[in-house]
Structure formats: structure tokens, C-alpha cells
């Protein structure tokens, strides 16, 4: 059972918690972290979520656990747990905070050239990982196999211009 901290709409902690999967109370939100890992070839590290978790393609993302007040560190934890990728906090670049009705997503980018086959996957969460270009991701979207919200996050990353800056 995962416990998540509740925040108000100004992203201030309320001191309250909720069990993951329970409805978020009105006027409150939970934090999510997501990262697009990219390489020198202009590809993105995409994961295929395990069949028991939905069997779709996405980027690495997850819930911020109760007590985690540093969202970048929460992102590093999620990457390490799900795909075995480690990085320094200074390597993560915050792209934006995307607000939704009951959650907000801290969106990061990270440059890495790690071979996909060198990553150690959490098999109950992630079936496989691939380096994909934008066209391959768009094809998966057209086939309704890629998480649409995560595609929108990719567009946010590309619009930021930060991919070119690293």
C-alpha cells in the first residue's frame, strides 16, 4: 500500500495523506514525477509497461511517496526502481509543472546514452525498454498503444527547447 501526501492547489503540503488509488479530496492534489530520457541520436527511452499494469508504452513516471519533499529525488528513485537507471540530481532538468484537476506532474528531462539492454527492469512494472524516435512514438500513439498524457509531456519537453541545450 502506497501512501501519498496531499497538497493544496498552490502546491503547499496540507499535512494530510491518502492511500494511492483512493479519490483525491476536492481542492487537493497529489504529486507525480515524469522524465523523458534522451540520447545523442535524438531518441527517447520508452518503456513498455507490464501487462498487469496496463500493457502500454510510456515514459518513466510515478507517484511521489509520502515524506518525499524533493521531487527530483523522487524522480531519481522512480528511475532506479523501474528501469535501473541512475543519475545525479544535477543531471535532471525541470521542464515544467503540469497541473491537472487532482494531480500535478513535475516533468524532467535527462540526457543519457545508456544501452537499453544494460538496464535492469522491475519486471512487475516494466516489460521492456526501447530507444525510439519521435516518429516511432507517434506511430504508437496512432495505434493507441502509447499513453496519451505522456505524449503530451513529450510535446512539452520539445517545446521547451531544453533538448537542444544539452
pLDDT at 164: 66
Whether 52 is in a domain gets the answer yes
User: Residues near 10 by Cβ (< 8 Å), separated by ≥ 6?
Assistant: none
Pick the more confident residue, 166 or 161: 161
Residues above pLDDT 70, as percent of the chain: 98
Pick the more confident residue, 56 or 162: 56
Nearest to 163 by CA among 82, 107, 105: 107
Whether 166 is in a domain gets the answer no
- How, if at all, do strands 3-8 and 13-19 pair? antiparallel
pLDDT of 150 strictly over 90: yes
Q: Give how far the C-alpha of residue 16 lies from the chain's centroid of Cα atoms, to the nearest Å.
A: 24
pLDDT of 166 strictly over 50: no
11-20, 138-147, 156-165, range with the lowest pLDDT = 156-165
pLDDT at 162: 79
Angle between the 148-160 and 134-142 helix axes, to the nearest 10 degrees? 150
- The torsion of the CA quartet 123, 43, 86, 63, rounded to 10 degrees, works out to -60
**Total domain count for the chain?**
1
22-31, 131-140, 154-163, range with the lowest pLDDT = 154-163
What CATH number corresponds to the domain at position 53?
Answer: 3.90.79.10
30: which 3 cell numbers? Answer: 497529489
pLDDT band per the 50, 70, 90 thresholds, residue 1: confident
Separation of alpha carbons 36 and 19, rounded Å: 27
* Phi and psi angles of residue 165, each rounded to the nearest 5 degrees, phi first: -80, -5
Residues above pLDDT 90, as percent of the chain: 91
What average pLDDT score do residues 137-143 get? 96
Domain boundaries, position 96: 3-160
Q: How do residues 47-98 score in pLDDT, each as one tens digit?
A: 999 999 899 999 999 999 999 999 999 999 999 999 999 999 999 999 999 9
Whether 139 is in a domain gets the answer yes
Whether 165 is in a domain gets the answer no
Q: List, as one string, the DSSP characters of 140-159.
A: HHHTT-B-HHHHHHHHHHHH
pLDDT of 165 strictly over 60: no
Whether 49 is in a domain gets the answer yes
Q: How do residues 111-120 score in pLDDT, each as one tens digit?
A: 999 999 999 9
Amino acid at each position: 500500500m502506497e501512501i501519498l501526501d496531499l497538497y493544496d492547489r498552490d502546491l503547499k503540503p496540507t499535512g494530510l495523506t491518502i492511500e494511492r488509488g483512493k479519490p483525491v479530496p476536492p481542492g487537493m492534489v497529489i504529486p507525480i514525477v515524469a522524465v523523458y530520457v534522451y540520447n545523442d541520436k535524438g531518441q527517447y527511452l520508452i518503456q513498455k509497461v507490464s501487462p498487469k499494469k496496463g500493457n502500454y508504452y510510456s515514459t518513466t513516471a510515478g507517484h511521489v511517496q509520502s515524506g518525499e519533499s524533493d521531487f527530483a529525488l523522487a524522480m531519481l528513485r522512480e528511475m532506479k526502481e523501474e528501469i535501473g537507471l541512475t543519475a545525479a540530481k544535477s543531471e535532471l532538468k525541470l521542464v515544467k509543472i503540469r497541473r491537472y484537476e487532482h494531480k500535478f506532474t513535475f516533468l524532467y528531462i535527462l540526457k543519457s546514452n545508456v544501452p537499453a539492454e544494460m538496464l535492469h527492469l522491475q519486471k512487475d512494472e516494466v516489460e521492456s525498454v526501447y530507444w525510439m524516435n519521435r516518429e516511432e512514438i507517434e506511430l504508437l500513439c496512432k495505434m493507441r498503444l502509447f499513453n496519451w498524457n505522456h505524449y503530451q509531456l513529450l510535446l512539452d519537453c520539445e517545446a521547451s527547447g531544453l533538448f537542444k541545450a544539452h
